[in-house]
Amino acid sequence: MSKKLSTRHLIGIKDITADDIRLIFETADNFKEVINRPIKKVPSLRDITVANIFFESSTRTRISFELAERRLSADIVNFAASSSSVSKGETLLDTVNNILAMKVDMVVMRHPAPGACVYLSQRIPANVVNAGDGTHEHPTQALLDAFSIREKLGDVAGKNVAIIGDILHSRVALSNVFCLQKLGAKVRVCGPPTLIPHHYRELGVEVSYDVRDTLRWCDVANVLRIQLERQDIKYFPSLREYHQYFGITRQMLDELDREIVIMHPGPINRGVELSSDVADSPHSIILQQVENGVAIRMAVLYLLAAQEQLSTT
Amino acid sequence: MSTGKLLLSPDRFALTIERLCCQLIEDWDNFADACVVGIQPRGVALADRIHSRLTALTGNPDIPYGKLDITFYRDDFRLHDKPLAPHPNDMDFLVAGKKVLLVDDVLYTGRTIQAAFSALQHYGRAQVVELLVLVDRRFNRQLPIQADYVGISVDALDEAYVKVHWKENHGVDEILLFDKKHPA
């Protein structure tokens, strides 16, 4: 029986249901097969135009969305704030409405302000997909992380997942917490006290400041980057000291009595949160995450587009 | 639930499959350079039977067999209120230069087959494509598509619904005709 999503926009994992997540995963399984074919393209979205609007720099997410759109045969327009009228003082709504006036059906947006995608989704007729809004949410990243855990370990439910690093500045952490909890995993966040906001305890996650203990507890460690570009004050003395206390090394993994899975949303700062030999070890599924990212984004775009009735008049 | 009219009983069903396989071997010999492609989901049940019977009758154990999902190629995307749910696609060979036997259970409007042609093109330029269906609803076509091998032909109104039951899924092999679409 075919199912549909409970939403017209993908703003955050907080707003969607566990059934939505499972539907996205089931659809992504099919798209993962598509992108491994000799011809990695299907014509589903041939009548859809997608605008990728990036007010913040991005390599992996933008390329991943762009490939997902191209492999669904959508028409795409790319827009980077740095080379646009935004620098001439145009507002977000004006910018987007001008793009929509050119008959665009979906908007994929990254913006430095938390809530920018909600604001937009309430004011424009197109479907909005959040590609990261400030320190709020990054839903497709959380979906691909959970999809990669499901692929590696069979299921997400019942697993212990640790999110280690700069929790304070991370939209990936928040989306991951919502996604993993909805799928029945236990979540722990770990990092220096200055980088873990107090409100995380209220989300029902464990908080730890001891990375060795956390590694012993978890089945999966999702390691986050220290986002120096968002840190306006000093949260820890030096990167070297951070690595000493919170960086994950091969030796720490060898001391464990079982194998754990290492994930990272990228970009990696080698020698800070992960040592190079861990990033390149068989424990790491970092490159599988990137591959799954395209399949997950294809599934999200497909399902959102499919719900919009085509007007034949 | 309304009971449908029986179009093909279990014993006739087996005979029909046997007849189709014999016809195929008469025309295609031992299926060297040929392959069988079942359309997901309902064509695959028929293709499973045809493929295993052909393997036994020809003595050729290496007839390539693929399961083709055409969901992403359909022309009614965004015309339903729910997304079309895809099925697993399992094609581990290219059809370039091969003779392809495309298999589906019911040939109705012809739109599924049209989508299957688009999907099949992504696996190379086949030498020949022929179509085998168990049921041909010959007066309900919306596109100029005809089958090369037909189990039974059914003349029914557009409102009617033909359902194929399989031993694997429904406990019995039979074909039923209902007055209304999608019986409960």
Same domain assignment for residues A21 and A84: yes
Residue A49: pLDDT band (50, 70, 90) is: very high
* Cβ(A105)–Cβ(A304) below 8 Å: no
Q: Are residues A241 and A282 in the same domain?
A: yes
Structure confidence at residue A22 (pLDDT): 96
- Which candidate from B69, B83, B94 shows the least CB-CB separation from A303? B83
Q: Which of A15-19, A235-239, A258-262 has the lowest mean pLDDT?
A: A235-239
Q: Is A42 close to B123, i.e. CB distance below 8 A? A: no
Give tens-digit pLDDT for B129-183: 999 999 999 888 999 999 999 999 999 888 888 999 998 888 899 999 988 766 5
Q: Answer yes or no: is pLDDT of A18 > 60.
A: yes
Closest CB to A310: pick one of B73, B79, B82.
B79
pLDDT of residue A229: 78
Say how many C-beta atoms besides its own lie within 10 A of residue A112's C-beta.
Answer: 13
Residues A280 and A160 in one domain: yes
Contacts of A142 (CB under 8 A, 6+ apart): A13, A172, A175, A176, A178, A179, A180
pLDDT over 60 (residue A312): no
Nearest to A146 by CA among A172, A180, A190, A182: A180
Split at pLDDT 50, 70, 90, the class of A309 is: confident
Q: What is the ipTM of this complex?
A: 0.80
Neighbour count for residue B26 (Cβ, 10 Å): 8
Q: Considering its fold, how many domains does chain A have in total?
A: 2
Whether residue A313 is predicted with pLDDT greater than 50 in this model: the reply is no
More confident residue, A95 or A194: A194
Same domain, A63 and A110: yes
Mutate to test the interface with B, among A4, A20, A25, A30 (most CBs of B within 10 A): A30
Instruction: Mark whether A208 and A152 lie in a shared domain.
Output: yes
Architecture of domain B14-157: 3-Layer(aba) Sandwich (3.40)
Say whether B113 sits in a helix, a strand or coil: helix
The whole-number pLDDT of residue B157 equals: 85
| Chain segment A108-123, per-residue pLDDT in tens | 999 999 999 999 999 9
Can you give the pLDDT at residue A310? 63
| pLDDT value of residue B184 | 46
**Site of tokens 């720099």:** A57
Task: Indicate whether A299 pLDDT > 80.
Answer: yes
Provide the residue range defining the domain that includes A42. Answer: 13-137+292-307
Q: Are residues A125 and A253 in the same domain?
A: no
Above 90 in pLDDT, residue A48?
A: yes
Instruction: Please report, as a single letter, which amino acid is at residue A155.
Output: D
Task: Find the range with the poorest average confidence among A16-20, A101-105, A130-134.
Answer: A101-105
Res A84: pLDDT: 66
* A1 → chain B, closest CA residue: B85
Q: Where are the domains of chain B?
A: 14-157
A246-278: pLDDT as tens digits: 999 999 999 999 999 999 998 999 999 999 999
Query: H/E/C letters for each residue in chain A?
Result: CCCCCCCCCECCHHHCCHHHHHHHHHHHHHHHHHCCCCCCCCCCCCCCEEEEEECCCCCHHHHHHHHHHHHCCCEEEEEEHHHCHHHHCCCHHHHHHHHHCCCCCEEEEEECCCCHHHHHHCCCCCEEEEEEECCCCCHHHHHHHHHHHHHHHCCCCCCEEEEECCCCCCHHHHHHHHHHHHCCCEEEEECCHHHCCHHHHHHCCEEECCHHHHHHHCCEEEECCCCHHHCCCCCCCCHHHHHHHHCECHHHHHCCCCCCEEECCCCCCECCCECHHHHCCCCECHHHHHHHHHHHHHHHHHHHHHHCCCCCC
Residue A306 has phi, psi (to 5 degrees) of -65, -25
- Residue A144 belongs to a domain: yes
Residue A248 and residue A152 in one domain: yes
> B88: which chain A residues are within 8 Å (Cβ-Cβ)?
29-30, 33
Mean pLDDT, all residues of chain A:
92
Rg (CA), chain A: 20
Distance from A3 to chain B by nearest Cα, in Å? Answer: 6
Averaged over A208-229, what is the pLDDT?
A: 93
Phi, psi torsion values for A64, nearest 5 degrees: -65, -45
What is residue B4's predicted lDDT score, i.e. its pLDDT?
Answer: 83
A216 shares a domain with A302 = no
Percent residues over pLDDT 70 in chain A: 96
Output the pLDDT for position A1: 44
B76 in reach of chain A (CB within 8 A):
no
Q: Is B94 in the A-facing interface, judged by CB distances under 8 Å?
A: yes
A192 band by pLDDT with thresholds 50, 70 and 90:
very high
Residue spans of chain B under pLDDT 50: 1, 184
Asked if residue A155 and residue A98 are part of one domain, the reply reads no
Q: What is the pLDDT of residue A57?
A: 85
- Give Cα separations from A235 to A242, B51, B137, B153 (angstroms): 10, 66, 72, 76
Instruction: Indicate whether A220 pLDDT > 80.
Output: yes
> Which of B76, B120, B122, B125 would you mutate first to test chain A, the one with the most A CBs within 10 A?
B122
Give the CA-trace dihedral at A24, A27, A33, A34, to 10 degrees.
-100
| A219, A299: one domain | no
- Look up the CATH number of the domain holding residue A273: 3.40.50.1370
